[in-house]
Structure 1
């Protein structure tokens, strides 16, 4: 199975209920778009809703860093990319971008996700049949450049006198 590099979501549209009193999409719904794309990427690796239901194994988000670049508004149409930057036997580090269908960048997200055995719940290794699918996604993404916005931290930079 050939994996796209990066993975690209279906086209999604900003919904009426997502617009806040400032007239643009509320910050929480950027995460909804990122999450919907993640679900599509997880499905492509065999880690989607069926996997959780049938095998009682799933993915939890451990950490996320979102940067809001340009506002989205009602009915804007976007796609979201998902790039697997790194992984080990229990974790996935991914970078995402929300882009308007016209091409401009709206937001970025970097996420650390954990593979979970829901019986615990506890962090658990990917099963032997899933690990190669994760590795295939990483191999497909290995040739992509490291995104400039990946690895950012939050700080207030002080000017020195």
Structure 2
């Protein structure tokens, strides 16, 4: 199995209904773009569409840090790059970038996701088949440099 390093989403268009009066993408919709961009990566990990219905398992965002670099507007075409930075038996730390198809960086996010059994709900280990795929993707992504914006925190100096 060939693993993209980093994973790059299919192109998607910024929808007019996601934008404010100036046709600039509203802050909350950057997360929609990140989520949609990560869908393919999670599908390749075995946690895509139908994972919740088949297994009663899902993943929750425990923490996210978004950096807005350059505004996006209605009609812009973008891709999302997804990289696993770290993971353990119950969590994934990922980093994503939204790039305009012209190549420039629009936004980044770093996310801590928790693997959850929805019967609890409670945080649980990944199933063996998912863990195996996580190992493979993390190994492929380990060859990438640590993104400059990863690990940031907010402070006033």
Structure 1 length as normaliser, TM-score? 0.95
Matches of 1:129 and 1:19, distance apart in 2: 39
Q: Does 1:100 align with 2:91?
A: no
Give 1:50 shift: 1.6
Q: Does 1:67 align with 2:67?
A: yes
- Where does residue 56 of structure 2 map in the other structure? 56
- Where does residue 85 of structure 1 map in the other structure? 85
- Where does residue 151 of structure 1 map in the other structure? 151
Matched residue pairs, number?
Answer: 157
Structure 2 length as normaliser, TM-score? 0.97
Matches of 1:122 and 1:91, distance apart in 2: 12
1:99-144 deviation line (CA, Å, top 9, x unaligned)? 0000000000000000001111100001112111111110110100
Give 1:23 shift: 3.3
For structure 2, the 5+ residue unaligned runs are none
Which protein is bigger by CA-based radius of gyration?
1
Give 1:21 shift: 2.5
Runs (4+) of structure 1 moved beyond 4 Å? none
- Map 1:121-132; keep pairs closer than 5 Å: 121-132=121-132
- Where does residue 41 of structure 2 map in the other structure? 41
Matches of 2:62 and 2:46, distance apart in 1: 20
